[in-house]
Structure 1
């Protein structure tokens, strides 16, 4: 059994028109939502063995805030440009390359790709993975290389506004 958590970056700041998409930071709401969601995972005793992130500022900052709360070493976050630039097939390839010694992985990225990937991998439908939303997908496989479309099961989908 393998488990992957897909996490969309927290709410980003659109206030500076001179900031490029890749460099956009988190806004105040995003800086609060990421530790809040990470704390919910911590209370569920969720600790990833591997964290993969888009290197874009908003995704990487979200990953760092989660890792700080979950006790995962930030320097061990694997930054993958394909998460930022690629589509669902790139994400599938990344997942298929996760070492089999890892049973629980967490991937931080962007929409619409993360929503599409969640729907592809779990064979279920989420309309929109909202900012700082977290999806848990379980895969009944022994090796990540066997991850494939419709091969997983959506266990839950959680997000900050659900807890207001």
Structure 2
């Protein structure tokens, strides 16, 4: 069984308008939300064998905060440039190329690609993916290469403003 967790980066800052998009950090709300969502994942018994993040500052900050709360070593976070500004087709290909030795993987990145990927992989996901939203998908497939549109089950969808 394979579990893919898609995590949209937490709320980012627009304070420095001249800053390149890739360098935008989290704003104070994002800095509160990311550890909170990591704590919710931990309380739900979620753990990861890999966390793969976009190189964007806001995605890396989110990944590090989630990792800290879920006891995943920060130094083991993998940065994948293909996640940044990726269209849904590229994200699907990335998912299909994940290491088959790993069962529980988190990807940390951006909309619109992540929301589109979630709805493409699971017809049950028909929602907007807000900042720091977490979508957990599952398949009985033995290989990530078998992941196709509609082939995964939605097992959880959580986000910071969801009632506890």
Normalising by structure 1, what TM-score?
0.96
Q: What's the counterpart of residue 37 of structure 1?
A: 37
Q: What's the counterpart of residue 59 of structure 1?
A: 59
How far the C-alpha of 1:126 sits from its partner, in A, is 2.6
SS at match of 2:69: helix
Say which is worse superposed, 124-133 or 18-27, in terms of deviation.
124-133
Deviations 1:58-103 (A, max 9, x none): 0011001101111111111111111113211111111111111111
CA distance in 1, matches of 2:96, 2:76: 19
CA distance in 1, matches of 2:38, 2:45: 11
Matches within 5 A, 1:1-164: 1-163=1-163
How far the C-alpha of 1:124 sits from its partner, in A, is 2.9
How far the C-alpha of 1:127 sits from its partner, in A, is 3.0
Q: Which runs of 5+ in 1 are unaligned?
A: none
SS at match of 2:162: helix
SS at match of 2:19: coil
Normalising by structure 2, what TM-score?
0.96
How far the C-alpha of 1:125 sits from its partner, in A, is 3.6
- What stretches of structure 1 move > 2 A for 4+ residues in a row? 123-127
Q: Which runs of 5+ in 2 are unaligned?
A: none
* Number of aligned residues: 164
CA distance in 1, matches of 2:128, 2:82: 21
